[in-house]
Structure 1
């Protein structure tokens, strides 16, 4: 092995010398162009310049310790993401936190073994990339697997909330969650996307040089960890992470003692008075939401509070005052023909307006970029070695070395598609086999468009493709089976398209960290297999211990009702809307599209303050309390950057991750106490004088 590594190093040095000689004889014009390209090439600025680095074979990049670390991180983050997703449906990006935990886990492991006198293999950035990919794949299904949206929208509670007397909401169009069928469904639909775009990886990453900002950011983070400066910074981040994780965990434990009843505890503290508390304006004292606010951008958090003020501060009190005129005074507010209907459908309109605008925007950008790339390739060779640096050539060589045969990808895609065509109609008789055939015919094209657009804009439009499938299949299925067919079909398309995007982001990170595509694809497959088991179990931890789906409870799962009502809207049309709701929905739709258009047409200094309609829609159903918590988090970040910008940039991700993880870790003991029927001893409650 040592001889092979030495020969490889000598070969690399010889190749480097030959390339340097070739570049040295270029004329002055070519040399100037080469320097300009090298200066502008983002990837060359981000990746470490080490042409003689010895890269372990792809089989050695996947290690037993790495898989164990991935599983542990995946389980922890699945529980965390599930809590946030079931609470409000808006989860922050935790990849930075997961990368830090992966680095800490393996570094601590090797240090312990070293002190015990046991030699271990070095921890490389390739292994770190593989661990992060596997862990993210493991907990991503907790967020995108439909446990708080289309799958939960099938249960009886959501069916009843949508209105038993609603025409499209036919009796029997519900299916209670179960570990068995949910695990089987995920295994069937989650692996297809891994193989859909494998043949196009060279075109999208090497030929078109798509940036994939999230994948690039992940690579920069990992490359930084494995530099001398990165090790020192990681130690500071670890101390901050551990400190706030401990504080957050014990704060959750302390709060539990005072929550012995409905609307009890610090989470119901009437911070701004009882009148504001009744309209959900209060500070929730949740370390998880504060941490999420520290990770999310200021724009997201301010959009949340704006949506909360418009809905709970203005619209709902006014519509409630029209009770008996716009809707029957005999109906409870939770009925879809009452106030709840306005909440749900106006939120849907904001989401659809924002989603449709961004979908068309990304589609236009994608078409223009593809046309420009094809036109340029006719003039100059995109992959011309004379126009690229040595590091870039090295990355291209490593990326293409461990090739994934096209026939394996095509065969695997066809095999998984056939399994889906057989299995899914047995799980859901409303989902006809030819619906799935059509879905799998169009899915690779949708996946390509989404992955290409994400490479340019970093926007994952999988939700939009899933929504289109939901409306089409709901209308096609009709009143008898449209709702179930729409929800299940939405999951099929959304899973494929989303995984295609995730895989391309990971392959971009692999390209920048000199990691083998084979090890990345295999680690993503292993992580997905873990997720198919971990995600349903983490969901049932909440589903059995807490009142999931209760509109007045902590775990409202707002998107379950939204998705079901979108399916009903696809079956019934506008007849499903309450009185005057169509006019309000039209205004919300136009507002969402108009805000996005104004942002894109405005100068950047003004456009960056435009609100995000998708974020504004979440408080319409959930309430204002979590938006206040997240604004507290964003205020902390703003003040910290004003006091010490350098330290804030280093420590904010670690501190926020510690808050989120500490609160998330408390979920496990609190769920066990709830399952054991152990209730908190004290109820702290505030009443009017």
Structure 2
């Protein structure tokens, strides 16, 4: 159990004794906003590739130390905490958007490709829904801070890890240098790859091995194409595996089972059409077998994650009841919290935004918008409470399951209006992320002696920008694909697996064309895996089956590399040196990828 930090008294010891102990400063806010925008952009790109997001508090804390202590020389821990609170708040909204909105873009493109009219939707209602979710996610969590953090003492592992980094002392500057080195290496490597300088079509044609479309092909004409003999040459992909280490091995295992067991078994057993050409076999197996099975496993695992989180409902309701008793006079939520009228006002504002976003969506009546606002707000608040409790206990956020439940529920309530249902899905996903992130940040603040009200204030003031930035990035990537093609989705370097899974469910519910056998088989397997002691196992395996094996294999190699380094150099080396370097690799490649997509749009214009 962590010790209760001593409250700050407005001064610090040593040379800065006469100076006020800086916390909420202009430079901390500006630094947090800048980092939040950069991380949001980078991790939206990463989530489109890998299917899961990566927290930004670590990166923000390291860079905050480098600037506040290394450059300004007089930065404080609580000032850095404000910086990382803002940065992670803006960044986290990207996860809620990238798990949902890509489904609309891909559905529209797919239906148009089939000769249909496409899907009618507007971006502005999604922006408003995202802002409403960001506000309500914070509002729903603030009343529970004292109970969850100070009284229940929930773990919130990421919050504890961030507090450890903020207290890093002299190692903070070394971590910043490693992060910068990783950034530079990865950005340069991505530039080389997108330039095509390493492409070797002649070698591939002659020897069956070489580099094409940022993949290293190693079949040599011996390994059949349905074994997927390729690895994606992405340092970001490998770095994500390096951050995961042993816990990421189920992801690799899911890919190995898919392409080195199911695929060759399907060919050997004659489960594919006999008239298929050899080079068409892998595509058929992926689209007709592995992809729907992966969606089923992903959904089953995600929903089982929600089921296993049900005990958190009791805990959340109990915490809310306890928080009400400990709120004091009723004018404040806690001893140093935002005032209750502000929270009520935020809730009302979020509900109004919800209603407006629904009304702006084609085909929604006033009654439908009212239903969407009321049901959506209630479900959104409950989901945020559940996920905050689950995150505090396990550090796992069942966001996929909540999004699937939300969109499916609203499709039935709103007469299969896909765009209107997605408004709710976006708001719920953003709110879940914001609620969990806010409580993680408040845990960090508690451990280093920060004032909760200041963290809450800056989160309120800045978090709304996150959904807007994320939607802009998705738009740029969609329209910035090579040769004017779509920039993400099936068959691209950014497969957007979470959005693809949601797209599959929406399309199936809308058309009635459901591969029931594969969904059911996958769902049962995913639910079984999701009930295993290892949190998130079903989701990891489902994503691996859905993703191209070249991405899964690169990620798995990163996991194995981290395990080897840890065996030789130890745990401390990985935590203090490998983690910041790998984080730099992720951000560098992602930002270069975004820049390349933007350049492609400008060049085509």
Matches within 5 A, 1:210-609: 210-222=154-166, 224-225=167-168, 230-231=169-170, 233-258=171-196, 265=212, 267-273=214-220, 275=223, 279-300=227-248, 302-316=249-263, 321-324=270-273, 340-364=287-311, 367=314, 400-430=334-364, 432-433=368-369, 434-478=371-415, 481-546=416-481, 547-571=486-510, 575-578=512-515, 582-597=516-531, 599-600=532-533
Aligned to 1:116: none
Q: Distance in 1 between matches of 2:286 and 2:298?
A: 19
Q: Which residue of 2 aligns with 1:656?
A: 582
- Does the 8 Å CA contact 2:11/2:21 hold for their aligned counterparts? no
- Structure number, greater radius of gyration: 1
User: How far apart are the structure 1 equivalents of 2:241 and 2:51?
Assistant: 14
Are residue 154 (structure 1) and residue 92 (structure 2) matched? no
Which moves more between the two structures, 407-416 or 658-667? 658-667
- CA distance in 1 between counterparts of 2:135 and 2:443 reads 20
Q: How does 1:630-645 map to 2 (within 5 A)?
A: 630-645=555-570
Deviations 1:407-441 (A, max 9, x none): 22112211221232133221343482112222213
What displacement does 1:54 show?
Answer: 3.3
Q: Give CA-to-partner distance per residue, 1:509-547, whole Å, 9 cap, x none.
A: 222222122211122123313324432333333223223
**Residue 12 of structure 2 is aligned to residue 42 of structure 1:** no
Structure 1 partner of 2:204: none
Match of 1:126 in 2: 78
Tell me the CA shift for residue 304 of structure 1. Answer: 1.9
Q: Distance in 2 between matches of 1:363 and 1:83?
A: 32
Secondary structure, counterpart of 1:270 in structure 2: strand
Given the superposition, is the C-alpha separation of residues 556 and 204 from structure 1 closer, same or farther in structure 2, using an over 3 Å criterion?
same
- SS of equivalent residue, structure 1 residue 671: helix
Q: 1:593 to 1:185 in 2, by over 3 A?
A: closer
Q: Deviations over 1:365-393 (max 9, x none)?
A: 6537977999xx9xxxx99xxxxxxxxxx
Matched, 1:136 2:88: yes
Find the aligned partners of 2:319 and 2:380 in 1 and give their Cα distance: 25
Q: Deviation of residue 245 (structure 1)?
A: 2.6
User: How far off is 1:89 after superposition?
Assistant: 1.7
The 1-side partners of 2:70 and 2:316 are apart by: 45
Q: Is the Cα contact below 8 Å between 2:388 and 2:436 reproduced in 1?
A: yes
The correspondence for 1:87, drawn from 36, 49, 59, is: 49
Measured against aligned partners, the alpha-carbon deviations of 1:253-302 in whole angstroms (never above 9, x if no partner) come to: 333332698986472221344546665432222111111111124222x2
Does the 8 Å contact 2:218/2:230 carry over to 1? yes
**Residues 475 and 570 of structure 1 are in contact (CA less than 8 Å); yes or no, is this contact kept in structure 2?**
no
1:650 shift after superposition: 1.6
CA distance in 2, matches of 1:190, 1:539: 18
Query: What is the SS of the residue equivalent to 2:232?
Result: coil
Q: Decide which moves more: 281-290 or 309-318.
A: 309-318
How far apart are 1:445 and its partner, in Å?
2.8
What is the CA distance between 1:133 and its match in structure 2? Answer: 0.9
Residues 672, 172 of structure 1: alpha-carbon distance in 2 compared, 3 angstrom cutoff: closer
Question: Is the Cα contact below 8 Å between 1:271 and 1:277 reproduced in 2?
Answer: no
Aligned equivalent of 2:543: 618
Judged with a 3 Å threshold, the aligned counterparts in structure 2 of structure 1 residues 154 and 252 are, in CA distance, closer, same or farther, namely: closer
SS at 1:269's partner residue? Answer: strand
* Alignment correspondent of 2:330: none
Q: Deviations for 1:125-182, whole angstroms, at most 9, x for unmatched residues?
A: 111111001011122222222x3x4222222x4245379889xxx9553436x5x555
Q: Which TM-score applies when normalising by structure 1?
A: 0.74
CA contact (8 A) 2:147 2:319 kept: no
Distance (Å, rounded) in 1 between the aligned partners of 2:464 and 2:420 = 25
Measured in 2, the distance between the counterparts of 1:454 and 1:344 equals: 29
Distance 1:549 1:52, change over 3 A: closer
Question: TM-score normalised to the size of structure 2?
Answer: 0.83
Look up the match of 1:75: 37
> Which blocks of at least 5 consecutive residues in structure 1 are unaligned?
1-40, 112-121, 384-398, 601-607, 679-689
Task: State the SS of the aligned residue for 2:218.
Answer: coil
Preserved contact between residue 341 and residue 577 of structure 1 (Cα < 8 Å): no
- Residues 476-503 of structure 1 deviation map (CA, whole Å, 9 limit, x = unaligned): 333xx34333322222222233322222
Paired residues of 2:133 and 2:431 also in contact (CA < 8 A): yes
CA distance in 1 between partners of 2:111 and 2:281 (Å): 12
Indicate how the Cα distance of structure 1 residues 537 and 105 shifts in structure 2: closer, same or farther if over 3 A, else same.
farther
Counterparts of 2:46 and 2:417, CA distance in 1? 29
Per the alignment, residue 205 of structure 2 pairs with: none
Change (3 A) 1:246 1:454: closer
Provide, for residues 573-612 of structure 1, a one-character-per-residue CA deviation record: whole Å limited to 9, x for no partner: xx5223xxx3333332222233344x43xxxxxxx6x982
Moved more, 363-372 or 506-515: 363-372
Distance 2:557 2:238 in 1: 6
Residues 438 and 249 (structure 1), Cα distance of their counterparts in 2 relative to 1, 3 Å cut: closer
- Using a 3 Å threshold, how does the CA distance of structure 1 residues 50 and 506 change in structure 2: closer, same or farther? closer
**C-alpha distance in structure 1 between counterparts of 2:61 and 2:472, whole Å:** 24
Q: How far apart are 1:665 and its partner, in Å?
A: 3.6
Say which SS state the counterpart of residue 32 (structure 2) adopts: helix
Q: Provide the rounded CA distance (Å) in 1 between the counterparts of 2:453 and 2:7.
A: 22
